[in-house]
Structure 1
C-alpha cells in the first residue's frame, strides 16, 4: 500500500473549507497519476474527480430529510454552520455519486437514501461494514482499568458526545427510570459535550461514567453487560457491529443503519429512538436476566462471523475486478488484487 500525503493546510477556519481544499488538491494529484491505477475508489464527496467505486458511509441528504434533523439557520451560529455544512455536502455528494461507476452503500438503509436523492439504482449495491471479529471476541474484561463498578449491570454507549445525533440524552432519561444498580459507561470525546452537566442535572453523576476517548475498545466492550445505541441517524454503525462481535446484546433503533441485520435473538430494535420509556423497558428486560444477556451476546457474536474483514475484502476485490477492463483483469490473474487508488476497504456483506 502506498500512502500519498495531501495537506490542505492548518489555517482554514472550518472543516467545510478544509475539505474543499483537500478535494481540489487530491483531484489535481489524481489527474496527473490516474494511469498508474486500475481502480479509483473514494468515499462520498472527497475529491473533485470521477471515481470507479464510491463507498457511501453517510448520506447528508438522508440526514437532512430525517425528522430528527435538529439544525436551522435561525438557531444560532453553530446550528447555522451545521445547516450550511449539511446542505453543501448534500449537493456535493450527489455530484460525486452521479459521476461514479459503482456506488457501495454500507447498509440497505443507505442504499435506499441514495436512490431517493435521484441516483440510478442499478449502480447501487450493499457491502456492509465489517469488523475485526477476532480482536473483539478474544478480549478479556477489566473493569478496574476504567474505574467501573464490579457489581453494576453495566451499559455502554460509544459515539460523538458533542451533537444530539447519537442520542445520549435519551439514554440518560431512560437511566432515570431504571434500578440503581444499572450503570452507564460513556466513551467519546468530552470537550464541549453538554452531557456531563445533563447527567448531573438528572442526579446520575454516580451511575454514569464518562471515560473520554478509549483506545482499548475490545477490552472495554468485554467489560460491560450490554450496548445501548438509539442513534437518531446512522448509516451503518461500526461501534454497533463491534459490540456484537464482543458478544454483547444490543439495544438500538430503526433509525440506526445496522438495525436491519439485528434479530430478536441478539438485540432489541426500537421504533422510536426518542422514547425513553421504551428504551428503559428494553434495558430493564436485559438487566433482570444475566443469563438472557449471555445467550443474546453469544447469538450476536455468531452473527458477526458473517461480517469479518475477509468477507468484506473479497467482495470489494470482486467488484474491482468486475470494473476493470477484461485484459487488465486477466493480466492480474485471479488471486492478485487490482491496484487501487483510494481508502482501504472498510465493510462487507451483500455483493454489488
Structure 2
C-alpha cells in the first residue's frame, strides 16, 4: 500500500444477547465504548438477538443506532437455537468483519461456532458469571469456558475474574484485564433536584439509592431487611427484572412500602444517583459493577458487599464501607455510620471521586480496547 494511502478501518462487530425492555451492565459498557471509540480508525457494528417471544429490535440495537453505529439483528427462538450460527457467519462474510467481539455466554458460544473455520479474530469480554445453583446455569458457564478458550483474546473486567480464568487454563498471553469506565463529565452534570421533585421525595430524610437488575444476585432482600428498623430513610430502587413482583410483595410484608420507591429501568441513571445521599450495593456476586463506578464519579458515599470485583475498587474505610454479603445488620450499621458521621462520608466520597477520575474514565477504557483491537490485527 502506498505510504500516503489511508489505512483501512478495522471492522469490529460487538455481538451480544439483547433484551427488549432494558440494558444490562454489559450493554452499557459496550455503549460507552462505542461513544468514545475512534471512528477514524475503527468501524463498529452491534449485532444482537431478537427472540421470537419478544419481537422487535432489542434496546441495545435501538440505542446503538442513536450513536450512528451500524446494527444487525439475528432471530433466535431459544437459548441455544443454532440457526443464528449460519446467520452470523453470513453477516461476518458479507460485511468483511475483522474482529468479532462477544459479550455473554450465548454470544461466546455462537460466535465461536460461527467463526471456527474463518480468519476472523475473536475477542470475549467476561463481565461476570451466571449465578445460581442449578445444573442449567453450571452448564452455561461450562460451555462459555469451553468457547472462550479458543478465542484470540479474553478480557476480564476485574482482577478476580482474570484470576478465575487463569486458574481455568486461559493462556496468559491471551488473557488481560480492562476495567469498565464511566463518563465522569456526565456524572458531574447530573440534576438530582429534578428527580427529587418528580418523585415527591420528602425533605429531611436520607435517600438511599440502589441500581441494578431486580434479580437474586443483586441482594435487594437484604437491603430491604436492613432498612426495616431505620427511621427517616427512603430507598430508590432503579432497575427492573424477574424479581420485581416478589420484591414489591416483600416490601409490603416487611411494612416498608412507604420507604421503597421502585422507579423501573432507566438507561441513564446519573440524575437518579444525583438524587441520592448514599449508594448501597448489597450484591452476592459482581464483576465490576458500572453503577458503583457511576456512584463514585457522582460523589456519593458507598456501602457495598465485599464480593467479586468490588474490593478491587472500594477499600474499606478508604473509598467506601464494605460489608459481608447477606448481612442486613452489617448493612444497617454501615449506612447508619455514614448518616451520622458526615466528615467520614465526605472523606470517603473525595477519595472515591479521585479514584474514579484517575482509574475508571471511559476514555481510558476506550483507549485500552483500541490498543487491543490494533494489537490483535497485527
TM-score for the superposition, normalised by structure 1: 0.77
Superposed counterparts of 1:1-352, under 5 Å: 1=43, 3=45, 8-11=50-53, 17-18=78-79, 20-21=81-82, 23-30=84-91, 32-33=93-94, 36-45=96-105, 46=107, 47=111, 48=113, 49=115, 51-60=121-130, 63=131, 69=132, 71-72=133-134, 83-84=135-136, 86-142=137-193, 143-161=196-214, 163-178=215-230, 180-189=231-240, 193=244, 194-263=246-315, 264-270=317-323, 272-305=324-357, 306-325=359-378
SS in structure 1 opposite 2:256? coil
Name the CA shift for 1:250/1:205 in 2 (closer, same or farther; >3 Å): same
Q: Is the 8 A contact 2:156 2:162 kept in 1?
A: yes
Q: Is the 8 A contact 1:155 1:227 kept in 2?
A: yes
Deviations, residues 128-186 of structure 1 (Å, cap 9, x unaligned):
0111111112212221122322211111111122x3110001101111243x1122111
SS in structure 2 opposite 1:104? strand
Name the CA shift for 1:190/1:206 in 2 (closer, same or farther; >3 Å): farther
How much does 1:220 deviate? 0.9
How much does 1:248 deviate? 0.8
Residue-pair matches, total: 302
More strand by share: 2
Greater mean alpha carbon deviation, residues 189-198 or residues 260-269: 189-198
Q: What runs of 5+ residues in structure 2 fail to find an aligned partner?
A: 1-42, 56-75
Greater mean alpha carbon deviation, residues 246-255 or residues 166-175: 246-255
How much does 1:29 deviate? 2.4
Name the CA shift for 1:235/1:192 in 2 (closer, same or farther; >3 Å): closer
Q: Is the 8 A contact 1:155 1:224 kept in 2?
A: yes
SS in structure 2 opposite 1:318? helix
Q: Is the 8 A contact 1:226 1:293 kept in 2?
A: no
Q: What runs of 5+ residues in structure 1 fail to find an aligned partner?
A: 64-68, 73-82, 326-352
Q: Is the 8 A contact 2:237 2:263 kept in 1?
A: yes
SS in structure 1 opposite 2:312? helix
Cα RMSD of the aligned pairs, angstroms, is 2.7
How much does 1:4 deviate? 6.2
SS in structure 1 opposite 2:93? helix
TM-score for the superposition, normalised by structure 2: 0.72
